[in-house]
């Protein structure tokens, strides 16, 4: 297996004056509320171990207060961890000098913010070119790169506008163009689309996926929206109270939630749209095959294909080769979320 | 027999006090009473003030010794202070005298177009520029052009110096909470101290004939808002934008020049506007210590009860104030890029 692009090991963050002193309580199993009540410190992150692979979109999902924004800020040390190890491209971020850290922020990691955080007194062109001008590149280079990426995110013609003159969605496109101009391998996206309205958000998600197909960046994406997480994620990390509850391939999490918290989470989404044929199929066996379906199609597509008839069995193919088969009855069963244990307690 | 004799007796301090026969000079009230032949009769229960206690015990100082002590202390410190402050502040005298000379010797037909041009380039507003032209012409018409230019030259020098020192101090304060905590009381003091009170120690330190005397008084009074608003402006810069600057690896200098100062500029300009207004207010009071300009005419109006002179000069000051305020406010509005219209 390849060395992951980003590796976090045993990462703890406790907010407060004496974070290091109360660390052993947390390591001894004290929870967030108890720590706050007894010691007046806030638990930010609790023993985070995550690998983020190159070229993948790792989505970190959690509700507000779960520590997801804290987590992403540890990668470029906008927040200092209490203890722990952060390795980016084989280099220990914690060991970097001030200059080294600044260089890493300039050349390895770019960031997209929830509230866009553009410079209001600069034009769109200068905003997008900012990462390069910070590195001391001449104006012509900055403008050329900025123009290229602004064009790529669909903002050509707006170069001389100011951020306040654009809509939220367009401002975030500038934010993405700015991160792309930095031309870093890693992109950190902190709830990048959360402030946008649903239609624009879908647009932006598609834009991101399209860009990713072409650029193969390592993207770390923070969101509180499970639909967004499932749409974008190659690797999904679910946080609760600063700790990782479950991580893995999103389809796997959906089909096998390991925790009542996640069961609750996944019970509300449209499974037919999110689940892929690949995740539900079984091994090839003797059967009456009604047709063929691609492994990456959603269950919804297959239901449409079968016209709602649950008596069929389809052959699952990938690049023309048969890799399994799917019984429509299994499909229907997969659509029913596993009963949440907390719900059963309530009953 | 004074009221507090008994107190010192019971405390057993009679010996320390010495003989009650005080040879301290009499107060004016006592002298008057004595000359009129009436024996002063003390209050039934006088406040235990230094003077009243002194009557019973000459070991205790009189109130006049306190003021005298302060004065002597100040006079003793004066040579040292003067040796340090005189050379440091000397350039201020040169600047003020130079500016006064420059504004006075430039003929009006050159000066007026320059001032109008400055108003235009600062404000880019026709109304403001026309107002400036009309006001100067009006003051010239009643032969107040020269005094108005004197006032303007003093304001020009003092505001420039206030900004040159105030903005860096404000930046430093915004970077360090400790510095802010230690500077703020001093700024509060400068703002609450009645303006006449600054003049007293300054008169002692510098001679009244030197321009820096009123220069220092004006700068001390006028520098406060620009310091405060620079500090505030930088502290109010959107945290998200600062975080973005950090995330893209800006160093402190880049952050200051590219993000903090531009975004704090509207606040800093508001501070500059206040500084101009306050130096104008002070330049009138400073006419008491030989600052030339419109203030001198106001002072004449008060001293000689020349009502007309005082009022004309007063209207001149108002016109000057409105001019400076409108031009600097229009400039402020122009630099406020955060307020771009859709």
Going residue by residue through chain A, which has 347 residues, state the pLDDT in tens, using 9 for 90 and above: 567 889 999 999 999 888 888 888 888 888 888 888 888 898 889 999 999 999 999 999 988 888 899 999 999 899 999 999 999 988 898 989 999 999 999 999 999 999 999 999 999 999 999 999 999 999 999 999 999 999 999 998 999 999 999 998 999 999 999 999 999 999 999 999 998 888 899 999 999 999 999 999 999 999 998 889 988 999 999 998 889 999 998 888 888 888 888 888 888 788 888 888 888 888 888 777 888 888 888 888 888 888 878 888 888 888 888 888 888 888 888 888 765 544 444 43
Q: What share of chain A is helix, strand, coil (3-state, %, to 5)?
A: 45, 25, 35
User: Which strand (E) or helix (H) includes residue A318?
Assistant: strand A313-318
| Orientation of helix B177-192 relative to helix B211-235, angle to 10° | 130
Distance separating alpha carbons of residues B44 and B49, to the nearest angstrom: 14
Which residues on A lie below 8 Å from B243 (Cβ)? 78, 113, 117
| Orientation of helix A124-134 relative to helix A168-181, angle to 10° | 30
Residues B14-48: tens digit of each pLDDT: 777 765 455 556 667 777 777 776 655 667 788 88
Q: What is the pTM of this model?
A: 0.81
Contacts of B264 (CB under 8 A, 6+ apart): B230, B233, B234, B236, B237
Instruction: Tell me if A118 and B241 make a contact (CB, 8 A cut-off).
Output: yes
- Residue A102 contacts B, CB cutoff 8 Å: yes
Distance separating alpha carbons of residues B141 and A204, to the nearest angstrom: 66
What's the average model confidence in pLDDT over B82-89?
88
Which residues on A lie below 8 Å from B238 (Cβ)? 117
Q: What pLDDT, on the 0 to 100 scale, is given for residue A344? A: 43
Closest Cα of chain B to A82: distance in Å? Answer: 20
Closest residue in A to B257 (Cα) is: A134
Residues B154-186: tens digit of each pLDDT: 999 999 999 999 999 999 999 999 999 999 999
> With 80 as the cut, is the pLDDT of residue B270 above it?
yes
CA distances from B142 to A125, B51, B309, B316 (A): 54, 56, 11, 10
- The Cβ of residue A346 has, within 10 Å, a number of other Cβ atoms equal to 7
Closest residue in B to A100 (Cα) is: B249
CA distances from A330 to A74, A280, A297, A312, A335 (A): 42, 7, 15, 11, 9
Spatial strand order of the sheet with A42-52 comes to: A42-52, A6-15, A83-88, A91-92
- Residue B263 contacts A, CB cutoff 8 Å: yes
Angle at B10 between CA B8 and CA B16, to 5 degrees: 40
Distance separating alpha carbons of residues A306 and A132, to the nearest angstrom: 53
Closest residue in A to B262 (Cα) is: A121
Q: What pLDDT, on the 0 to 100 scale, is given for residue A345? A: 43
Residues A211-265: tens digit of each pLDDT: 999 999 999 999 998 889 988 999 999 998 889 999 998 888 888 888 888 888 8
Closest Cα of chain B to A15: distance in Å? Answer: 18
- Residue B258 contacts A, CB cutoff 8 Å: yes
């Amino acid at each position: 297996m390849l060395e992951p692009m980003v590796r976090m090991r045993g990462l703890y963050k406790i907010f407060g004056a004496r974070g290091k002193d109360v660390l052993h309580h947390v390591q001894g199993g004290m929870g967030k509320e108890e720590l706050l009540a007894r010691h007046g410190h806030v638990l930010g992150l609790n023993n985070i171990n995550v690998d983020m692979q190159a070229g993948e979109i790792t989505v970190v999902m959690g509700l507000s207060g779960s520590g997801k924004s804290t987590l992403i800020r540890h990668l470029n040390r906008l927040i200092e961890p209490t203890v722990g190890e952060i390795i980016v491209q084989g280099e220990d971020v914690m060991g970097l000098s001030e200059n080294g850290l600044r260089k890493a922020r300039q050349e390895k990691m770019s960031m997209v913010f929830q509230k866009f955080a553009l410079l209001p007194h600069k034009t769109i062109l200068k905003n997008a070119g900012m990462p390069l001008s910070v590195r001391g590149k001449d104006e012509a280079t900055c403008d050329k790169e900025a123009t290229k990426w602004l064009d790529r995110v669909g903002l050509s013609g707006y170069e001389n506008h100011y951020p306040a003159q654009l809509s939220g969605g367009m401002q975030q496109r500038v934010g993405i163009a700015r991160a792309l101009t930095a031309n870093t391998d890693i992109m950190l996206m902190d709830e990048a689309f959360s402030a946008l309205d649903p239609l624009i958000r879908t647009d932006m998600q598609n834009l991101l996926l399209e860009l990713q197909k072409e650029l193969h960046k390592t993207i770390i994406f923070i969101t509180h929206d499970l639909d967004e997480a499932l749409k974008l994620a190659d690797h999904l990390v679910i946080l609760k109270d600063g700790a990782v509850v479950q991580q893995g391939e999103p389809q796997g999490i959906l089909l096998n939630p390991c925790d009542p918290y996640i069961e609750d989470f996944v019970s509300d989404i449209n499974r037919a749209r999110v689940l892929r044929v690949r995740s539900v199929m079984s091994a090839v066996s003797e059967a009456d095959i009604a047709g063929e379906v691609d492994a990456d199609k959603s269950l919804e597509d297959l239901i449409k294909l079968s016209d709602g008839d649950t008596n069929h069995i389809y052959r699952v193919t990938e690049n023309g080769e048969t890799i399994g088969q799917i019984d429509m009855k299994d499909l229907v069963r997969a659509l029913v979320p596993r009963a949440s244990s907390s719900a059963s307690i309530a009953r | 027999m004074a009221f507090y004799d008994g107190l010192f007796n019971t405390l057993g301090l009679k010996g320390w006090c010495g003989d009650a026969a005080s040879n301290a000079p009499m107060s004016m009230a006592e002298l008057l009473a004595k000359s009129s032949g009436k024996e002063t009769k003390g209050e039934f229960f006088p406040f235990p003030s230094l003077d009243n206690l002194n009557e019973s015990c000459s070991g205790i100082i009189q109130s006049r010794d306190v003021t005298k002590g302060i004065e002597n202390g100040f006079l003793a410190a004066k040579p040292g202070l003067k040796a340090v402050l005189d050379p440091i502040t000397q350039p201020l005298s040169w600047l003020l005298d130079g500016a006064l000379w420059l504004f006075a010797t430039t003929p009006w037909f050159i000066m007026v177009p320059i001032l109008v041009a400055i108003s235009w380039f600062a404000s880019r507003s026709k109304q403001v520029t026309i107002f400036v032209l009309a006001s100067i012409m009006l003051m010239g018409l009643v032969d107040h052009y020269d005094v108005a230019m004197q006032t303007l030259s003093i304001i020009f020098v003092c505001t420039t110096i206030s900004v040159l020192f105030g903005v860096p101090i404000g930046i430093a304060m915004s970077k360090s909470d400790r510095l802010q905590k230690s500077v703020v009381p001093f700024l509060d003091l400068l703002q609450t101290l009645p303006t006449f009170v600054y003049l007293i120690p300054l008169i002692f330190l510098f001679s009244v004939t030197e321009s820096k005397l009123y220069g220092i008084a004006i700068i001390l009074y006028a520098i406060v808002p620009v310091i405060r608003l620079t500090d505030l402006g930088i502290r109010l810069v959107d945290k998200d934008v600062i975080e973005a600057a950090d995330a893209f690896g800006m160093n402190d200098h880049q952050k200051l020049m590219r993000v903090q100062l531009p975004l704090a500029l509207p606040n800093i300009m508001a501070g500059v506007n206040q500084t101009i207004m306050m130096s104008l207010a002070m330049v009138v009071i400073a006419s008491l210590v030989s600052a030339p300009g419109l203030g001198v005419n106001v002072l004449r109006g008060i001293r000689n009860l020349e009502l007309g002179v005082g009022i004309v000069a007063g209207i001149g000051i108002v016109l000057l104030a409105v001019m400076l305020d409108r031009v600097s406010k229009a400039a402020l509005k122009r630099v406020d890029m955060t307020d771009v219209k859709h």
